[in-house]
Amino acid sequence: MVVGDFPIETDTIIIGAGPGGYVAAIRAAQLGQKVTIVEKASLGGVCLNVGCIPSKALLSASHRYETAKHSEDMGISADNVTVDFTKVQEFKNSVVNKLTGGVGSLLKGRKVEVVQGEAYFVDQNNLKVMTEKSSQTYTFKNAIIATGSRPIEIPNFKFNKRVIDSTGALALQEIPESLVVVGGGYIGSELGTAYANFGTKVTILEGAKDILGGFEKQMTQIVKKGLKAKGVEIVTEAMAKSAEESENGVKVTYEAAGETKTVEADYCLVTVGRRPNTDELGLEELGLKMSDRGLIDVDKQGRTSVDNIFAIGDIVAGPPLAHKASYEAKIAAEAISGEKSEVDYLAIPAVCFTEPELATVGYTEAMAKEEGLEIKASKFPFAANGRALSINATDGFVKLISLKEDGLLIGAQVAGAGASDIIAELGLAIETGMTAEDMAMTIHAHPTLGEISMEAAEVAIGHPIHTM
């Protein structure tokens, strides 16, 4: 007996349950919509399962290990500091499980229907959700595509046992003695830092002139200094050519400075970017306007060229950041509900969890000058801050970008301990239209790293206290 595929009706269907999709589902449900969310893998998407969260757990554990081994400056030393990497992985997985379980509870609490399977569009009001055993049609008024991205696989570096992507690097069952990282962006630099902390000999091959291309050179220089102190070899303007795997390792061939060279390691981690997951959704049935790279064209509300279809996150233009996806998710859900919300990316931060951390929001000095803005760049060093000195983390600075005319804050960059947290205040300042004087007049608790932002603002208005 064949059971008919009777369509299930819903107001809004969301494809993908990552930090874009599940946030969109919650916001849409809050606004009174009947919501269905489709996920082919795990709730939380790449970020919670094999990206942002597990990588920070691994970094945190590696930093604890390095601190335990190297705190002689504070009069603390320890013998025979060891790592049980199985327990490190258990800790990482426990963090992931708590968060993904929390997402499930939040969706259930909002009465969002969660469907496991792969979505394929039939037309602009119907899609099929397929599993190995069944196929179910859903009829919807609106849809939000939030399918994220996946690592790019480059020629001659097919992902396998010894050539791995970021997911593979997070799942290693042992600390490798050596690791080659192809790509010195934020993922490669973060994971390279984590394993270098654990004692791995790390080599980073970067095709551009510098690693961490999204950040200013004066910021990346501090990170490079720290990486080299850990024994990391950084080769820039290097073109990876091939990887030859063996049972116990991999030999990577690359070109640099006009020469062909090789480096051998236990593993080769390839982190050269990510590709949008838009190729297996049946989007050709909808006729959506897309770029050559597979990104979906959207307006300021996330609406595609088909009025009732929205797209957010890594599959639209802009940096592949989890918090960007979550922000766009709320905008799209509100737009579907008839609100006038639209995106404004000026105060969207970017963070790299290297040592020290890097963070930027709004305009950089170079961006402002390219647009012909008359600006003032004002810096204050961590080395002149009491809290930074007391935690022995004096590398770095806070830089504020303000308009000369009225002191309006339009950008900020932070390199140093806690940059990922410090940037939040600076983003808020830009979002709310604060001036450098407003920041300088805001009383900051002492002693804290947050004071560095206040001190940089005092430099901007010409009345610094703790620097000449």
- Same structural domain, 41 and 141: yes
How many CB atoms within 10 Å of residue 94?
Answer: 11
Does 419 fall in a domain? yes
- 8 Å CB contact between 452 and 382: yes
- Same structural domain, 354 and 412: yes
Residues 264-309: pLDDT tens digits?
999 999 999 999 999 999 999 999 999 999 999 999 999 999 999 9
Does 195 fall in a domain? yes
- Same structural domain, 267 and 359: no
CATH number of the domain residue 356 falls in: 3.30.390.30
Minimal CA–CA distance to 16: which of 305, 310, 303, 342? 310
Alpha-helical (H) ranges within 379-450 are 386-390, 419-431, 436-441
Tokens of 17: 């349950």
Residue 16 is labelled as binding a ligand: no
Residue 104 is labelled as binding a ligand: no
Q: What is the mean pLDDT of each run of 10 residues along the chain (468 residues)?
A: 73 98 98 98 96 97 96 94 97 98 98 97 97 94 98 96 98 98 98 98 98 96 97 98 97 97 98 96 94 96 98 97 98 98 96 98 97 98 98 98 98 98 98 98 98 98 94
- 8 Å CB contact between 369 and 375: yes
Q: Which residues contact 347 (CB under 8 A, 6 or more apart)?
A: 361, 362, 427, 428, 430, 431
Residues 332-364: pLDDT tens digits?
999 999 999 999 999 999 999 999 999 999 999
Q: Report the pLDDT value the prediction gives residue 331, as an integer from 0 to 100.
A: 98
C-alpha–C-alpha distance, residues 360 and 423, integer Å = 7
DSSP bridge pairs for 409: 402
How many CB atoms within 10 Å of residue 329?
Answer: 28
* Residue at token pair 């009001």: 125
Residue 178 is labelled as binding a ligand: no
- 8 Å CB contact between 398 and 414: yes
Does 158 fall in a domain? no
- Same structural domain, 224 and 259: yes
Residue 13 is labelled as binding a ligand: no
- Same structural domain, 252 and 227: yes
- Same structural domain, 196 and 249: yes
Minimal CA–CA distance to 212: which of 183, 191, 237, 239? 183
- Same structural domain, 22 and 144: yes
Q: Are strands 358-362 and 274-276 parallel, antiparallel or unpaired?
A: unpaired
Does 345 fall in a domain? no
Residue 289 is labelled as binding a ligand: no
Catalytic choice (70, 446, 463, 466): 446
- Same structural domain, 243 and 287: no
How many CB atoms within 10 Å of residue 13?
Answer: 28
- Same structural domain, 246 and 392: no
| Annotation marks residue 446 as catalytic | yes
- Same structural domain, 170 and 193: yes
Tokens of 374: 């008359």
Query: For 136, phi and psi rounded to 5 degrees?
Result: -130, 130
- Same structural domain, 243 and 315: no
Residue 245's domain spans which residues?
A: 163-272
| 14 SS3 class | strand
Minimal CA–CA distance to 362: which of 15, 157, 371? 371
Looking at the structure of the chain, the number of domains it has is 3
To the nearest 10 degrees (0 to 180), the angle between helices 217-229 and 186-197 is 30
CATH number of the domain residue 246 falls in: 3.50.50.60
Q: How far is CA 436 from CA 12, 376, 380, in A?
A: 43, 10, 13
- 8 Å CB contact between 340 and 34: no
Residue 184 is labelled as binding a ligand: yes
